[in-house]
Amino acid sequence: MLGKIHLLEGDLDKAIEIYKKAVEFSPENTELLTTLGLLYLQLGIYQKAFEHLGNALTYDPTNYKAILAAGSMMQTHGDFDVALTKYRVVACAVPESPPLWNNIGMCFFGKKKYVAAISCLKRANYLAPFDWKILYNLGLVHLTMQQYASAFHFLSAAINLQPKMGELYMLLAVALTNLEDPENAKRAYAEAVRLDKCNPLVNLNYAVLLYNQGEKKGALAQYQEMEKKVNLLKDSSSLEFDSEMVEMAQKLGAALQVGEALVWTKPVKDTKSKHRTTSASKAGGFQQPLGSNQALGQAMSSAAAHRKLPSGAGGVSQLPKPPSLPLEPEPTTEAHPTEASAQIREK
C-alpha cells in the first residue's frame, strides 16, 4: 500500500525501493514481481524489468499482466512475431483488454500489415474510446495508408483528450497539408512548436511546409531552431538520428543555402517518434515540390518497419515519448507499449 501511495504521488524511485523490500520478504509474490517489472519497464531499465517479469512468469506462467508486459518489451525491440505469440496467450485470459488489442495492432503495423493493424486498433478504440494513445496510433496508420481525412479524424480526437502533446499537432499538420489546407497546417505546426521544446522533427517538418509555400524566411527560422535542438540532443545524450531525417534536413539546408555547419551523428534507426515525424518530413519530399503524397507514403512505410522506441517512445528518453506503440505502464500494475514504448497500461 505504501508503494501505491508513492505511485499516486508520482515518485517512482521511492515506489521501486518499497517494492524491492516487499519482494525480499515475499520473493514468490507474482503481483509484486510484476509491478516492480512494470516500473522498471516504465523507466526504460529493460534488463531488470525482464528479470522481474521472468521471475513472475516462473511462479505463475498464466500471469497475463506479466505476459503482456514481456510481449510489449519484445515488440519495442522489433520482435513482432514473438510478441504476437505472447499476445495470443493473453487474448485467452483477457479478450477485451484495450492495451492488448492496441499492441497487437501496432505489431501488425510494424509488419506493414496495415489493414489488420486498423482492425485491431478499431477494436481497442471500441473497448476504450477515450484512450488517446489508441487514437494516436489509428491516426498514424491512416497517415501511412494516405487516408488523410480518417487520419485527421482520429488525430483531432486524440488532441481533444491530450491537448499538450506537440507531436499530435505535428501529425495533424501533415494530414492537413495533404488535405490541401496549408493555412490550418501552419497553425497546427505553430502549436506543435510551442508545445514541443526538444523534438527537432517538428521544426523540420514545419520548415518543409513553409519552404513549399515560398516562405523562405520562416523556413530558415525553423531550420535554425531545428539545428539548436539537434545540437542540444547531441550534447545531452548519445542519441543518433534517423537517416530519413538527416537526409531531409540536408536537402532543406541545401535548398536554403545553409546548414553546412550542422554535424550529424551517423544515421541509425531511431525511435518511433522519430519515424513518425520523419514520415511527415518526408511528406515534404524534395523531389517534387517538398511534399508529395507519394513521398509521404514511402516515408511512412519505412517508418512503420521499425519502431525502436528510444526505448519509447523511447520511449524515448531522449525525445518526448510517443505513445504510439505500446502505451505507457500505469503506476499500478500494467504496462502498455508506444512509443512509452514498450509499456502497457490497463485500466
The pLDDT of residue 263 is 52
DSSP for 127-139 reads H-TT-HHHHHHHH
Q: What is the mean pLDDT of the chain?
A: 76
Distance of CA 54 to the CA centre of its chain: 25
Alpha helices in 77-163 (DSSP H): 80-93, 98-110, 114-127, 132-144, 148-161
Question: Where exactly are the structural domains of the chain?
Answer: 130-264+294-304
pLDDT at residue 266 is higher than 50: no
Q: Which pLDDT band, with edges at 50, 70 and 90, does 67 fall under?
A: confident
Give CATH for domain 130-264+294-304: 1.25.40.10
Percent share of the chain, pLDDT over 70: 73
Cα radius of gyration rounded to whole Å, the chain? 20
The predicted-structure confidence for 206-234, as pLDDT tens digits, reads as follows 999 998 888 888 889 988 888 888 888 87
The pLDDT of residue 126 is 96
pLDDT at residue 152 is higher than 90: yes
Q: Is the whole model's pTM more than 0.75, yes or no?
A: no
Please name the residue that has the C-alpha cell 500505469: 330
Percent share of the chain, pLDDT over 90: 32
Of 136, 80, 74, 73, nearest to 113 (Cα)?
80
Cα(65)–Cα(177) distance, rounded to whole angstroms?
A: 40
Cα(191)–Cα(148) distance, rounded to whole angstroms?
A: 20
Least confidently predicted of 39-53, 65-79, 149-163, 296-310? 296-310
